[in-house]
A and B are shown apart, each in its own frame.
Chain A
Amino acid sequence: MSDLEAPLSQGSGPIHRLDPRARLLAMLFFSIPVALARSDASALAALGFGLLALTLTRPAPGLILRRLLAVNAFTAFLWVFLPLGGQGEALFHLGPLVYSREGARLALLLTLKTNAAFLAVTSLVGTIAPQDLGRALQALGLPEKFCHLLLMAHRYLFVIQREFRRLLTAAEARGFKPRTDGHTYRTYAWLLGMLLVKSWDRAERVHQAMLCRGFNGRFHSLAEFSYGARDTIFLMLAGLASAAVAGLSILEKTA
């Protein structure tokens, strides 16, 4: 299954049964202390809560491993560059370069935080069906126009992607092979230009079709969200977890 089809959102774990609004709120509670955590203990706690949430989502392990690799490409970059810039005690020397302990500690902290945040996003946001995201955000008070943009952009993502695939297949059938040269870049530019032209025309047809059906600036959806006791309990637990992460950070600072 392609990533564009949001494979995570199609599971049936306990998290999937929660109201999408509750998941978004929990994400909001949890993100802030994780982003601001300054101690290893609180980052570890956050990672633990993230893993717990991930087990409740029951995702395909291959998918998670692939994503973890992508996320940690950036943290690997931090492990290389942060200790080289840091002051303080040297762990070891690389020729004229000093690999500092302080920088390595910071890289470790940031790695823990980034992975904790990734696990939380995976289990709380990744499990929301993309078509529900716009409505859930609207229910939480985001501007209607923005949520319409999100809804329609997602609706046409697949159409546009298939259209691009078609253009690319046609180019390949004519012997196009991507290389590092001007010809390749110009070909891509023209393919993308054509994609934009087709999207522009499609948007005009879509808009006319919407007007024909009496579109007056409001989308109606038949799917109803239901917020129940389960969601309240989950939000309270998420609040406790966030408080624990924040508390550990504060304790370490005062200690």
Chain B
Amino acid sequence: MHISEGILSAPVLLTGAALAVAGVAVGLKRLPPERMPQAAILSSAFFVASLVHVPVGFTSAHLILNGLLGAILGWAAFPAILVALLLQAVLFQFGGLTVLGMNTTTMALPAVLCALACRPLLLSPDNRRAGLGGFICGSLAVFLSGILVALALIGTGETFTHAAWAIFLANLPICLIEGFVTAAAVVFLRRVKPEVLSGALA
């Protein structure tokens, strides 16, 4: 979920950049140096995950998994997503410089907030409740990202209202898929390697 360069207005771009700078600063400050390799390699894992296209009816959608990213990396989700966007710019030339902050914020802010809100559920001893936590975290994060993208467009001008609604609606089925995939991945991780979700990095 990306806004291209050259679309948004200056106040919206500045808001996004300011939030992104603050988030990345907190994320870097809370990341102890000995955890840096883990955060970096998990960032590349999430980058690879975002290249996966899952079938949805006649078309396909790529996974974002920002909810799961937040659950594992916590505040480090901000630098991780900025790294992913920079790599996209240099490898695929998607996105641009001025919109980098807004794109980081729309994906990372919901990731951090949802992960914080769902932490008690994700860490509960019962796998069903953890799965429910995963579903909420995964779907809500993508849902909120869609809302933020729509708000950024509406904040730029009223002409964008229809486009914002279209993005919001197209995003809804993706929320369900993301929620389902995140729930299954959370339950899997708890069985196979619970420390990934224990919040060592969060």
* A residues with CB within 8 A of B: 3-4, 6, 8-9, 27-28, 31-32, 34-37, 67, 70-71, 74-75, 77-78, 81-82, 84-86, 102-103, 106, 110, 113-114, 116-118, 120-122, 125-126, 128, 130, 133, 143, 145-146, 148-154, 156-157, 159-161, 164, 178-180, 182, 184-186, 188-190, 192-197, 199-200, 202-204, 206-207, 210, 217
* B residues with CB within 8 A of A: 2, 4-8, 10, 13, 24, 28, 31, 33-34, 36-45, 47-49, 51-52, 54-57, 63, 65, 72, 79-80, 82-84, 86-87, 89-99, 157-163, 166, 177, 180-185, 188-189, 192-193, 195-196
Q: Identify A160's interface contact among B28, B45, B189, CB under 8 A.
A: B45
A226 → chain B, closest Cβ, in Å? 21
Q: Identify B185's interface contact among A3, A82, A179, A189, CB under 8 A.
A: A189
User: Is B4 within 8 A of A106, CB to CB?
Assistant: no
The verdict on A184 contacting B55 (CB below 8 Å), with A117-B6, A161-B48, A200-B193 known, is yes
Chain B residue numbers with a CB within 8 Å of A103 are: 159
A122 → chain B, closest Cβ, in Å? 5
* 9 nearest A-B residue pairs (beta carbon): A113-B6, A189-B184, A152-B40, A117-B5, A193-B188, A85-B162, A81-B163, A35-B98, A203-B38
Q: Identify B196's interface contact among A184, A188, A197, CB under 8 A.
A: A197
A177 → chain B, closest Cβ, in Å? 10
Chain A residue numbers with a CB within 8 Å of B51 are: 161
Chain A residue numbers with a CB within 8 Å of B162 are: 81-82, 84-85
User: Is B6 within 8 A of A154, CB to CB?
Assistant: no
B19 → chain A, closest Cβ, in Å? 16
User: Is B159 within 8 A of A86, CB to CB?
Assistant: yes
Given A113-B7, A150-B87, A185-B180, 16 more A-B residue pairs with CB atoms under 8 Å apart are A9-B90, A28-B97, A35-B5, A81-B166, A120-B96, A126-B93, A133-B90, A145-B33, A148-B36, A149-B40, A153-B40, A153-B44, A160-B47, A189-B185, A195-B45, A207-B34
User: Is B181 within 8 A of A110, CB to CB?
Assistant: no
User: Is A156 within 8 A of B44, CB to CB?
Assistant: yes
Residue of A nearest to B41 (CB): A203
B131 → chain A, closest Cβ, in Å? 11
Chain B residue numbers with a CB within 8 Å of A179 are: 55
Chain B residue numbers with a CB within 8 Å of A133 are: 86, 90
How far does the alpha carbon of A200 sit from the alpha carbon of B99 in the complex, in Å?
Answer: 31
Residue of A nearest to B7 (CB): A110
A-B contact pairs, 20 of them (CB 8 A): A6-B91, A31-B96, A36-B10, A78-B7, A81-B166, A85-B160, A85-B161, A121-B93, A125-B90, A145-B36, A150-B87, A156-B41, A161-B51, A164-B48, A185-B54, A189-B183, A192-B63, A193-B192, A195-B45, A200-B38
Q: Identify B182's interface contact among A148, A189, A204, A206, CB under 8 A.
A: A189
User: Is A197 within 8 A of B189, CB to CB?
Assistant: yes
B83 → chain A, closest Cβ, in Å? 5
Q: Identify A114's interface contact among B5, B63, B79, CB under 8 A.
A: B5
User: Is A203 within 8 A of B10, CB to CB?
Assistant: no
Chain A residue numbers with a CB within 8 Å of B166 are: 77, 81
User: Is B52 within 8 A of A188, CB to CB?
Assistant: yes
User: Is A143 within 8 A of B28, CB to CB?
Assistant: yes
How far does the alpha carbon of A202 sit from the alpha carbon of B89 in the complex, in Å?
Answer: 26
The verdict on A71 contacting B94 (CB below 8 Å), with A180-B56, A196-B45 known, is yes
Chain A residue numbers with a CB within 8 Å of B8 are: 35
Q: Identify B163's interface contact among A85, A159, A188, CB under 8 A.
A: A85
Q: Identify A199's interface contact among B41, B79, B87, B89, CB under 8 A.
A: B41
